Every structure is written in structure tokens, then in C-alpha cells.
Structure 1
Amino acid sequence: MTLRLSRRSFIAGSAGLLAVHPFSVHAAAGQAHLRLMETTDLHVHVFPYDYYADKPRDTVGLARTASIISDIRSEATNSLLLDNGDFLQGNPMGDYIAYERGMKDGDMHPVIAAMNTVGFDASTLGNHEFNYGLDFLMKSLAGADFPVLSANVVKQMGASPTADIPLIKPYTIIDRTLTDGAGNTHPIRIGLIGFVPPQIMNWDRRHLEGKVETRDILEAARAYVPQMKEEGADIIIALSHSGIGSADESEMMENASVPLAAVPGIDAILTGHSHLVFPSGTYQDYAAVDANAGTIHGKPATMGGFWGSHLGLIDLMLERDGGSWRIAGHASEARPISKRNEDRSITALVESDEAVLASVQQEHDETLAYVRRAVGKTDANLHSYFALVADDPSVQIVSNAQTWYIKEMLQGTEYEGLPVLSAAAPFKAGGRGGPEYYTDVPKGDVAIKNVSDLYLYPNTARAVLVTGAEVKDWLERSAGMFNQVTPGKADQPLINDSFPSYNFDVMDGVTYQIDLSQPSKFDPKGVLINPDANRIVELKYNGEPLDPDQKFIIATNNYRASGGGDFPGAKGDTIVFEGPDTNRDVIVRYIVQNGTVSPRADANWTFKPLDGASVLFDTGPKAEDYVDDVKGVTVAPAGEGADGFARFRIQL
């Protein structure tokens, strides 16, 4: 492929004729412009296609990003293309390969085939690479024409990280030839090192326990970076599948990119995991982060969105310093593949790269056939437009299926007969995904694509044993979704935008109200901040006040049960059942067994009335079609929201 050849020739002197970036234009003898290009969180999105909605989508797809890559390579004299992880799981194509087609020795995973076609120089593992197990992962990686790295996942720990037996290569040092401003060529040794959140041991415990271990990201970096320097790396780039979070270091941080950037010897940092863009105003007030300059601790950084939405860019002006190189200047940006217009429509900024499409065409067609299979019917509309503000049918069907499954699985065990509650969260609820990012399944046939839409992740079913007190605190943790509201005040913002929708668990099997006049008991990360707060009121089981000492089973998923989201009663030590089935498969089996399902919301939760108070929230514009279906609260249109969303009002 031409793109592969372009990578392997490293954009040598002839490309300098096309260079337009100021670093390439102004580089003198002994100075060279090196461009780092980053994709992150691709999640198997190769085609610009939404398999859940079964229609093209201009905002996603490596095939679209590849067109940007081709153009951007021509702007720089020298370049590297790097991926920052979470490429193997995340849409129905990934599930089709994992659960239907499988991966035998020698098989090529479609996302790897696409990445080979584009011509990546290296990648790191993301946390979702482990969702299908180590055997699937290693067979998939075997087809990569580029090194895949991870410094903090090990088969066996030694006395220090450098004495570990790693799962895969922790780092690589690649030898390249740079063309300077005078057209002369010089060797350079570029070190690349990868990191993943150590929380994979909780999130995918069933696949990893007893097989691998994880180290703290910063511990691994401080051990390996000096070793890379000793081996001759002129510059070192961290591929950090870890978000931009606190500047204060803590042990086993999930979002460790800020303190990681401060590690001596790291020259530039590629970030991801958070599905956001850097540089951008999102990070304006973060310590040690310059959101305008695109730096973390003064070092260039980028985050290229998700699903191929952006290409992260770091431009380095390198200068010869004796026999090695130093960074004399840098710039960062993130280039999008589409833009949203004032009328809410989307304009694609690039077309797809035909070679990339061709590399996965067969698997794309097979995925379409896979997701279009009907498994049953629903006599209720399944939508998530109001899932954050009212009991909701798209969450209800998940809870119904989980309850059915766990009750069946616990028959004949010591836990049979205990009351079973079900915790489920809305996954597609707008937010960073945009105003079209909602579940919307009309009455009628329910296909696999619809089930995937209802439950995005390949989680497996779990059950935990908790007390009534833990049920209440579980709900208190979930109620952090909402801002505190002042009684008597109109049109207050309802949703806490820093709270992810997948941590907004709705509990079926109990009834309760949420008192918004109270502060949240927990912060968005699950840290206890207001011990005396009580947002959850009128909490009842079978119509009676819930006994804090009573035992309950909660049906949930492996992520939550193993500590994901840091919920009271779900820290990994209360699991009493680990199912072999994914939650999606549970939903499919539930629909198949019932033939026709009626997952109508029963308004088992709502907000406590607050005299004279009203709140505003944003949702998808199509929500207006379902206003009359909302149970437990009265919602009314309130104009346009930001970025293509529609605004609605609730009178409390």
C-alpha cells in the first residue's frame, strides 16, 4: 500500500517540498521538524457507520481519519503515526469478531487490518483490549505490522519493573532518519513507551486474575525511562492510555497523565481514555495543564477525541545538540474529521480512504448481517432521551432481563429466596457523544443491533450481596448525577456534566425519591464528601421502609461489581455470582424467551417535590416525540440547548 510505504520511508527529503508547517518552513541546517500524529479510543470504528442506528455517520471512522493522516503527513518533513489504545472493542464489529467469527491462530482482526493499511508506527494497549480475554488479545496482536506496547501489565512481577516478565514489550526504540532544513539527513532514536490504567484487574478480573498483574503507571515509567535513555533514546514519547486528571500523584492512579508528564526524560505525551479533546477549553482550569498551549508540565501533549473523531497532533522542532537531539520548540492541536453547523447538521470535512474501507469490507458486511437479526418484539418504544431524569424504558428492559437471569441462576443456591434488585445505567444519554447519541428503538421487531444499542459494553452478568444500608448508599452515589437545587428558584441546571451517565444506576425492586435540595453525599469519583447528606428519601421495599440490616441481591455487571465507579457495596468483595453470559446475551435470551416484551417504565423513582423550583436539562431534539410517555415527572420543551441539544424544563 502507498500509505505503508510512506510510513516506512519516514517521509524523507522529497516530502519536504510539500511541507507547509512553519517548523518545516523555517528549519535550518541541524534543525528538523518531527510531527507526531495520534489516534486514540478507536473502538473498532473503521467505517464511518453507526451499527446501532444502522446508518452512515460522518463523525466517526478510521477510514475518515486516514484521509486527514495522508494530508497531514504532507505538511511535515518527518512524521510518526501512533495509536493510543482501545482499538479492539467498542462496537458490534468488535463483538461480531469476538463472539461469532472468533479469532483462530493466523486470523486477521479487521481493526488491525485497517491499522496496517493506514501504516501505524506503534500503539499501546487500552483497558478495553482485555474485554475479550488474553487469548483473543494475543491472537489479534499477532497480525499487527507495528509494535504494541504496555509497560505496566506483567505476567510476573520482579523486584522492580525492569525485572518483571511483561505481557508484551513495555517500550521500543525505533531508529529513523530525519531530514533537516538544509536537506541533510541525520539519525535519531525515538523511544516509545505505553501505559494502561491498572484498574483493568478489577474491570476484567475474570479474564486476568491469576494470569497477569498491573503496576502503578508512574512506578513503571520511573523505572523504564532511564533504561530507555541508557539504550540511546534521543527523545521519549509516552503513549498514555490514561486521562488528564489530578496533578497530585496517588498510588495506582487511573488518570495519571499529568504526573506522568512530569517524569524526567519523557519529552511528549499522548493521552486518551477519557474520550475528550486536548488541547481544548475542557482542561482550562486543570493544575499543571496549559489548555491553550497544549502542554502538561510544560511538555507537549494531545488527546485525539474518540472513534476517529480527531487526529491529535504534536509538532516538534528538533535541534542537533552534539550527537543527539533536543526539543527547541513545540505546538499541539487536535484536528476534527467533521464539524457541527449552526443548524445542528454535521458536515464531513474529509472523505473516506478507499483502501482502508476495502481492508475491512467483508467484516463490515458480515457485521451488518449480524446486527440485523430479529430476536423478538417490543410493544413499547425503547428510548433513552429522558433516562437521566425519569424512570426509563431503555433502562427498564435491562433491569427486567438482569432480574430474570439472576433469579434463575440463584435457584438451588444458598441465596435463593433473597430479594433480587437490579441496578442498570443509561449508556447512550447524549453528553460527549452528542445530541444524536441516544437509544431509540420503535415498537416492533427487536434486532441484535437494538440490543447492542441498549447495552453498549460486553460486560458479563454479576450478582452482589449487600445490606439495605448499602442499597441506600449505592443510590446516594448514583444521585451525584444531579446538581443541588434551591427550593423556590426557577430554571436551575439539573445535570452535573462531570458525572458520566454509566455511573447513574437506577435501582429496580425498590421505590425511592431523590431530594435535590440536599448536597450530594459523594463526589463524581465516588469519594465521600458530605457524610450527613441524604438525597435518597422514601426508600421502600414492598411498600415498607427499607430495613438497613436486610440482605439483598443486586443484579449488575462485572464492571460495577468489581469496583467500577466505586459504589458502596460493590468493591469486588461482595460478589456471590459470576455469570458466563454477557449482559447483552442475557437481554437477547430474555427477549427470545418472552417473544414480545413490555418494558414500560414504572416510575419507581422520581424527584421529591420542591415548591417553586424548576430545573433545566438538555437532551436530543427527538425527545419531543416522547414527552407524553415520561412517567413520574412532567417535562416541557424550553428552547434550544448548546451544540445541537434541545432543552427541557421540569417543574419540581
Structure 2
Amino acid sequence: MPLRPPRFAAPLLALALALLAGCAGQPWKSGETPDGARAKVVILETTDVHANVLSYDYYKLKPDDSLGYERTATLIRRAREEFPNTFLFDSGDTIQGSVLADYQALAKPVGCDQELAIYRAMDAIGYDGGTAGNHEFNYGLGFLSQVTGTPMNVDGGHTNRCAGPHFPLVLANVYSARDGEPIFKPWTIVRKTIEAYTEDGSKIRVPLRVGIIGFTPPPIMEWDKQKLAGKVSVSGVVEAARKYLPQLQAQHPDLIVAILHGGLDTSPYTPQMENAGWYLAGVPGIDVLLLGHSHTEFPGPHYAGMKDVDARLGFVRNVPAVMGGFFGKDLGVIQLVLNRRQDRWAVDLDNTHSEVRPICQLTSGKDKSGQEKSSCVPADPEIAPLVQQAHQAAIAFVNTPIGESTVRLSSYFADEGNMTALAPINAAQADYVRAELPRLHPELAGVPVLSAAAAFRTGFGGPDDYTDVAAGPLTLRSAADLYFYPNTLAAVKTDGAGLKAWLEKSAERFNRIDPAKTGEQPLVNDHFPGFNFDQIQGGIHYVIDVSKPVGQRITSLTYRGKPVAPAEPFIIVTNNYRASGGGNFPGLDGRDIVLAAPDGTREILARWLQRRHMIRSADLEPTSWRFAPLKTHGPVVFTAASGKQDLAREAGVGHIRQVKDHGDGMATYAIDLSR
């Protein structure tokens, strides 16, 4: 028969358990957290991962250690080991932006019972919440509803619950046109037990309730108009915060975290503001602000000098904030210190700060090629096996042959006049519209068709962030490299004055150059994104004078050798983003669209390349513009990938020379504008 314990064993066991509880931290009931208690709570943030699950470049078909969520996952695990109290949130642009994403959304869409690769990876790490960015809407509301596991009462939405991420997504400023209700929950509360310390230094375990509320950029209604018009409506970020924060505050959370897919802009507020983080930080009740969309780091030098912003410690109008880079290159970290006063937690701003932790750090010395060495954290071994099947299928997909080219198509010097990567896009777009437009608008059959394209990859993300399709076989990967985003094609009707205004806006890509200045002058305006530098072809030629002020730089504009008259009609082919107002180009607001194609521009390009089969120089229209001759006393410089001077010469821009190798794959070049 079993032995029975003596009568005093139970009290001794209870005493032992009590002592252990004292060592591990006493559990305290909600409402009993003593005043004077103190806790460090760390908010971790990912943003703009863009479905870069693995450290892999699908365009070059090789590993790329400088990006990838599998390495961010390592930083997350390390942060959790470093800090006992952590919350992890994602600020959006999560499901779109890589070949893997397009494969799962367009080539072979995932089924209702399948979870997206990026969400599988994130669930392996474990998130506490997130929001939707603008690119979440690129594939349409049906796809978004399905893959987020969110039934939506919208046209085309899923009413059943499909496989989605195992964490809540919140979004307060997008509403169904059917019932006016948010398509996601506008807010929710995340509950955790955290470690804290009493005034005498005793460790206790207490509950913490964190409210989260999410926001996306209002211009999604312009950028994805074809997929969203009539189905949803959008409100401004500040307006949505004022509407839903009182509901959230009524639940008495200990902290409120605003998750905004947007950056910082101090220009006058409008409900359509793309980067409204500065204004959102001024809404009472928000304790922490998570940022995104801008593909920059905050805190960081980019925001130095901005009004009421501490770009070193990470505060926006006294609200702790962070923006953790893009493509899985970084992890945002906010270290909050909380003090308990009058039965409430309050953020100790003097002992709180933010930082962005990169997956790669420069180390001393250079490698054999002369580049600065970098040390990158290892990939989390749990991630790759989860997505291996989809990864291999995506590689096979982009390797589908579609033709050949005798021309190297690159964007290394797209800002300086090399249009080899843009000419195929412009030709494919124009051919599509010339074939389709007469059927839809017979009255426009005789109007000249021009085409506008911008180089999406111009080095913003480093030396590998360029389009570079080698001469030889072409595959679907080539088309995806040439046309990076899953835009659809659109055509607008304009006139000569509108064409010139379009080109003037594009010319803001360049700084104003003073010929008399003896020091270095940067050619490219880094605050004007490369994807807004439209270069237009189709029989026109124009001259850009960078010595002139903004709005007066197009000094010559001809069509088939004759000056363009202000009232002369034109059809310009572009993408749905630009035609609907993206980039704030004059006269482009969606009202003059004469053709909105159901086809993606990338697919149109791929079919054009396939029909041509062989692409030669003669098949591509020459560069349609040049700089006005300008003799400067000092050098005019720009930054591009190092070691590409010979390529510039081959592409017909031989007035460029490399003057300084930065040692990180980038270099400073000088351009002779007098030629």
C-alpha cells in the first residue's frame, strides 16, 4: 500500500511554494499593483517586410544576407532573452513586395485553408498584433480578407474565416461601403503578465493590458482605386483616432500603442495625408507610436531637425516612437520605463528611448573586393523549413523562359539618361493601349499615345537595389526585375500643357545646380523618390535644365520633331498608382483615366517580351531626353553602385566617371553636364 505523507508535509510544501513564489515574483491581482512599482516594458516592431521571408534575392537567384525576416527573427529572439517584458507588433506592408508574394497571390493563389508564407514565419516567432499597410490592398479585398482570416462585409470579400495569422490585425480608418463599419477591428487589447519591482526592490508579477489601434495611409483610395472604389471608404488618420480612441480608453488599458503604416510629415495636415505620424502623436491618449511606410529608420538622421522630434532618442511630440526599416533589415525597439502612480502606469519619459537594431553591422577591414566587411546575424533556423515548398515553387515560377535579349537592361544610371530598363516597359504599355483604346474609345483612335515609366530600383536599398537584366535568355524573373510592383496599367487623356507639367514634376528628381559654385553639388534630390521620376517616350524629346528652378526646367519639348503646342492632345500610358494621383502629379487625380486595364503591367510586359522573343537595340526607342548643356566650376556628383563606369559608357552616358569608392558597394560619380 502507498505511504501517506505526515500531517505536517502539506504546510511545509505550502511554505516552500510561498518561498519559491517570492523568488520568482509574487502574482498580484488586477487593481492591486502597488503605487511606486516600476517596470521596463519593451515594444518590438517590424514594418515593411514586404514578404521577404528569406534572405534571398529572387531576381539574382542567390542568397542575400542583408535582408530577410528569418534574420529579423533572430533579433527578436535575442531581444526577448535580453528583456523579460516584451510585446511584438507589425506595422504593415507585410504580404506584398517579393516574388514569393506574387507567386502566392497571382501565379498560384493560396487556398482558404493555406496560410501565407510570411504569416507562417511570423506565427513561428509569435506576434501580439499588427495593422495593414497600403500594399496589403494591392491584390484586392477578396485576397486580403482571405489571407488575413478576416471575414469582410465588402464586395468580393470572404464571409467565411480562412487561414490567417495567429495574431490580431487592427485598422481604424478603412470602412465597408455596405455598412460603414471598419473592415478590420479598429482596436483591441492585448493582455500579458509582466515582471515589475516594488519600491523596496521586490519582484512581483502583474497584469498589463495594452490597447492597440491601427491606421493605413488614406491615399490607398487613389493608389488602388480600381480595386477599392465603391467597396470601401477611408478617413484621415487623426479623424479615425479621435473616433475610436474614446472606445478604447473606456476599457481602461494600461498603455495605448498606435500602429501607423505611415511616417512623419510636418506640412499642414489634411485627411488625405500619407505620412501623418507627427499629427497622430499629438492626439491625446496615445502612449507609444509605431511608424512605417517610409522605408527609413526612426530614430535616425533622416529626421534630425524636424520640429518637436528627437531623432536621437526616438520621440515625436514627447511620444516614444520607432520605425524599424524595411525588407526585414531591422528591428525597432522601444524601451519603456513605467512608473505606478495613483493606480495607473505612466511612461517615465526621462528613462525611455528607442533604437533601430540592424541585422547587419559594418565591421573593421575590407574583403578581397575592397568592400567594407559586414557582420550579419544568422538566420533563425526555424523559418526556412516552414516556407521551403513555396520558396522553391517561386524560384521555378520566375525561371519560366519568355525570350531573349541582346541588350543589357539596367537602371544603374537611369537618373542620368540610361533608359534601357524603361524602354521595354514603355513599348509594352504603348502597344497594349494602341490595341485596346480604339475599341473602348473610337473617338480617341487618332490621338498620339505616349508612355511613362519610372525606374523603381535606383539604389535606395543599397548596391543590389537596381534592375540588371543581362543580355541573353529572358524569364519571368526578368519581367519582375524590370517592373518591380504589381501595378495595373492605366491611360489618361491630357494635352501638351499637361504633358509639360508631368515632366516638370518628374524633373524635381534633380537638385538645382549653380554653375558658379566651386564645391561639389549633388545632382539627385534624395527627398524625391526614384519611382516618381517618370521618363516618357513615344516620339517626344525633351531637355531638362537643372540650373533652372522647379517648374521651369523643361526648356524644349517636341513631338516627332515639332514643338508641342499647349492644347495638343495626348494619351499617356502609366500605372494605376500614378493615374489616380500617386506622387501628387499635377492634373492626375483619376478623373482623366480613359483606360483602366484589368491586367497587371508586369504581365503585359512579360507577354510583350514573349511575343517579340528577341529584343535588340533597334526594338527599343532611344533615350527621349537629355540635360541642357551646363558648364559648372565645381563637380556635379551622384551616388550609384560602384564599378559600373564601363556600363555607363556602353549605355551611351560616357560623360560619367567614378571618383570615390565608398567601400560598401556604392560609389560617388561625377557627371559632366557640359557635354
TM-score, normalized by length of structure 1?
Answer: 0.91
Shift of 1:14: 12
Unaligned runs of 5+ in 2: 1-20, 26-33, 150-163
Query: Which residues in structure 2 correspond to 1:166-185 (within 5 Å)?
Result: 166-181=182-197, 182-185=202-205
Shift of 1:646: 1.6
Shift of 1:441: 1.2
Shift of 1:645: 1.5
1:334 equivalent in alignment to 2:356: yes
Counterpart CA distance in 1 for 2:663 and 2:500 is: 34
Q: Deviations over 1:588-646 (max 9, x none)?
A: 01110000112556132000112345521111114223022233662222223585422
Query: Which residues in structure 2 correspond to 1:353-432 (within 5 Å)?
Result: 353-412=380-439, 413-414=441-442, 415-431=444-460
Residue identity matched to 1:249: Y
Query: Which residues in structure 2 correspond to 1:145-294 (within 5 Å)?
Result: 145-156=166-177, 164-181=180-197, 182-246=202-266, 248-294=268-314
Query: Which residues in structure 2 correspond to 1:549-588 (within 5 Å)?
Result: 549-588=567-606
Counterpart CA distance in 1 for 2:531 and 2:318 is: 33
- The change in CA–CA distance for 1:469 and 1:453 in structure 2 (over 3 A counts) is same
Residue identity matched to 1:124: T
Q: Deviations over 1:328-350 (max 9, x none)?
A: 24111110001245643453431
Contact 2:35/2:340 (8 A) holds in 1: no
Q: What residue in structure 2 maps to residue 59 of structure 1?
A: 66
What's the % identity of the aligned pairs?
40
Q: Deviations over 1:43-91 (max 9, x none)?
A: 0011011111211111111110111111100111211011000001001
Q: What residue in structure 2 maps to residue 464 of structure 1?
A: 492
Contact 2:266/2:307 (8 A) holds in 1: yes
Counterpart CA distance in 2 for 1:393 and 1:353 is: 39
The secondary structure found in structure 2 opposite 1:393 is coil
Q: What residue in structure 2 maps to residue 24 of structure 1?
A: none
Shift of 1:115: 1.0
Q: What residue in structure 2 maps to residue 352 of structure 1?
A: 379
Residue identity matched to 2:354: S
Counterpart CA distance in 1 for 2:290 and 2:229 is: 28
The secondary structure found in structure 2 opposite 1:202 is helix
The secondary structure found in structure 2 opposite 1:428 is coil
1:545 equivalent in alignment to 2:563: yes
Shift of 1:473: 0.6
The secondary structure found in structure 2 opposite 1:285 is coil
Q: What residue in structure 2 maps to residue 609 of structure 1?
A: 629
Counterpart CA distance in 2 for 1:109 and 1:541 is: 48
Contact 2:74/2:379 (8 A) holds in 1: yes
Counterpart CA distance in 1 for 2:42 and 2:632 is: 57
The secondary structure found in structure 2 opposite 1:487 is coil
Counterpart CA distance in 2 for 1:187 and 1:277 is: 31
Counterpart CA distance in 2 for 1:175 and 1:641 is: 47
1:479 equivalent in alignment to 2:500: no
Residue identity matched to 2:233: E
Residue identity matched to 1:222: R
1:136 equivalent in alignment to 2:164: no
Query: Which residues in structure 2 correspond to 1:621-632 (within 5 Å)?
Result: 621-631=642-652
Contact 2:140/2:228 (8 A) holds in 1: yes
Residue identity matched to 1:120: Y
The secondary structure found in structure 1 opposite 2:422 is helix
Shift of 1:391: 3.6
Shift of 1:647: 1.9
Counterpart CA distance in 2 for 1:590 and 1:608 is: 33
Q: Deviations over 1:143-181 (max 9, x none)?
A: 1110011000011498xxxxx411010010122222113
Shift of 1:234: 1.4
Counterpart CA distance in 2 for 1:295 and 1:642 is: 33
Contact 1:15/1:76 (8 A) holds in 2: no
Moved more, 334-343 or 364-373: 334-343
Contact 1:278/1:333 (8 A) holds in 2: yes
The secondary structure found in structure 2 opposite 1:64 is helix
Counterpart CA distance in 2 for 1:332 and 1:16 is: 28
Q: What residue in structure 2 maps to residue 114 of structure 1?
A: 121
Shift of 1:282: 1.0
The secondary structure found in structure 1 opposite 2:497 is helix
Shift of 1:140: 0.5
Counterpart CA distance in 1 for 2:660 and 2:167 is: 50
- The change in CA–CA distance for 1:465 and 1:79 in structure 2 (over 3 A counts) is same
Counterpart CA distance in 1 for 2:586 and 2:418 is: 22
Residue identity matched to 1:207: K
Counterpart CA distance in 2 for 1:232 and 1:553 is: 56
The number of residue pairs the alignment matches comes to 613
Counterpart CA distance in 1 for 2:574 and 2:412 is: 22
- The change in CA–CA distance for 1:645 and 1:598 in structure 2 (over 3 A counts) is same
Shift of 1:354: 1.4
The secondary structure found in structure 2 opposite 1:175 is strand
TM-score, normalized by length of structure 2?
Answer: 0.88
Contact 1:418/1:553 (8 A) holds in 2: yes
1:448 equivalent in alignment to 2:470: no
- The change in CA–CA distance for 1:54 and 1:15 in structure 2 (over 3 A counts) is farther
Counterpart CA distance in 2 for 1:210 and 1:628 is: 50
Shift of 1:233: 1.2
1:514 equivalent in alignment to 2:515: no
Query: Which residues in structure 2 correspond to 1:9-48 (within 5 Å)?
Result: 30-48=37-55
Q: Deviations over 1:195-234 (max 9, x none)?
A: 0001001111111111111011000111211221111111
Q: Aligned-residue CA RMSD in angstroms?
A: 2.0
The secondary structure found in structure 2 opposite 1:165 is coil
The secondary structure found in structure 2 opposite 1:218 is helix
Counterpart CA distance in 1 for 2:267 and 2:544 is: 33
Counterpart CA distance in 1 for 2:69 and 2:558 is: 49
Counterpart CA distance in 2 for 1:16 and 1:296 is: 36
Counterpart CA distance in 2 for 1:290 and 1:319 is: 22
Counterpart CA distance in 1 for 2:106 and 2:525 is: 36
Contact 1:106/1:139 (8 A) holds in 2: no
Counterpart CA distance in 2 for 1:292 and 1:611 is: 40
Counterpart CA distance in 2 for 1:623 and 1:581 is: 35
Contact 2:178/2:231 (8 A) holds in 1: no
The secondary structure found in structure 2 opposite 1:360 is helix
Contact 1:270/1:303 (8 A) holds in 2: yes
1:500 equivalent in alignment to 2:507: no
Q: What residue in structure 2 maps to residue 21 of structure 1?
A: none
Counterpart CA distance in 1 for 2:625 and 2:386 is: 48
Shift of 1:488: 4.7
In the alignment, which of 436, 444, 465 is matched to residue 437 of structure 1?
465
Counterpart CA distance in 2 for 1:476 and 1:631 is: 24
The secondary structure found in structure 2 opposite 1:74 is helix
- The change in CA–CA distance for 1:448 and 1:167 in structure 2 (over 3 A counts) is same
Residue identity matched to 1:337: I
Contact 1:58/1:348 (8 A) holds in 2: no
The secondary structure found in structure 1 opposite 2:491 is strand
The secondary structure found in structure 2 opposite 1:180 is strand
Counterpart CA distance in 2 for 1:226 and 1:99 is: 40
The secondary structure found in structure 2 opposite 1:590 is helix
- The change in CA–CA distance for 1:387 and 1:331 in structure 2 (over 3 A counts) is same
Residue identity matched to 1:649: A
Contact 2:504/2:550 (8 A) holds in 1: yes
